[in-house]
Structure 1
Amino acid sequence: MSRGPDAETLLRRALESHAEAAGCPVALVESDWTRWASATFSGARHLLALAGPPSPALDAWIAGLPEAELRLRGHLVADLAVEHVRRAQDRVTVSLEVLTVEERR
């Protein structure tokens, strides 16, 4: 019996959907994650790179990401940081570090 998509898949889908709603579609370029736990919480630390065509909408989306409300079934986005933004003539790549925490039931 499957429990559904993992936190990385949910996070990627949420970011892509959030960007699409902002008028700046992006695609996943790179992704990695590791399990994370403290005395009271468990979750994962994600490193992602997303890319899309340059536009004012993409710039605004990137600037607003740290405060964005991303909904992930069974997980909360505890922290999201924009680590790097690389600009080329036809593509902008944004590197993110995201901490997700599993919701307690």
Structure 2
Amino acid sequence: MSRGPDAETLLRRALEAGAEAAGCPVTLVQSDWTRWASATFTGARHLLSLAAPPSPALDAWIAGLPETELRLRGHLVADLVVEHVRRAEDRVTIALEVLTVEEGR
């Protein structure tokens, strides 16, 4: 029996929905994740690459990402870092590193 989407899928959906709501739809270019654990928490470290056409709305969305509260069922976003933003004439590529933590059961 499936428990529903995993943290990576939920994170991707939340980022895409947030960008869409901000008026700057993004496309997932690449995604990878690895399990992560500390003495008290378990979760995953996600590396994502997103792309979108350049726009002032996209710039504002990127600037606000580290403070954005992303809601993921069963997981919390503990940290979100914009690693880099690469700009070309017709495309902006955003690299993110995100740490998710599983909520206690």
Q: TM-score range by the shorter chain?
A: over 0.9
Unaligned runs of 5+ in 1: none
Verify: 1:71 aligned to 2:74, yes or no.
Answer: no
Cα deviation code 1:21-55 (max 9, x no counterpart): 00000010000000000010000000000000000
Q: Which residue of 2 aligns with 1:31?
A: 31
Q: Which residue of 2 aligns with 1:52?
A: 52
Q: How far off is 1:90 after superposition?
A: 0.6
Say how many residue pairs are matched.
Answer: 105
Letter paired with 1:13: R
Percent identity reads 88
Task: Give the RMSD, CA atoms, in angstroms.
Answer: 0.4
Verify: 1:84 aligned to 2:84, yes or no.
Answer: yes
CA distance in 2, matches of 1:61, 1:12: 15
Q: How far off is 1:10 after superposition?
A: 0.4
Normalization by structure 1: what TM-score? 0.99
Q: Which residue of 2 aligns with 1:5?
A: 5
Normalization by structure 2: what TM-score? 0.99
Q: Which residue of 1 aligns with 2:21?
A: 21
Letter paired with 2:53: P
CA distance in 2, matches of 1:75, 1:28: 20
Please give the secondary structure, in 2, of the residue aligned with 1:4. Answer: coil
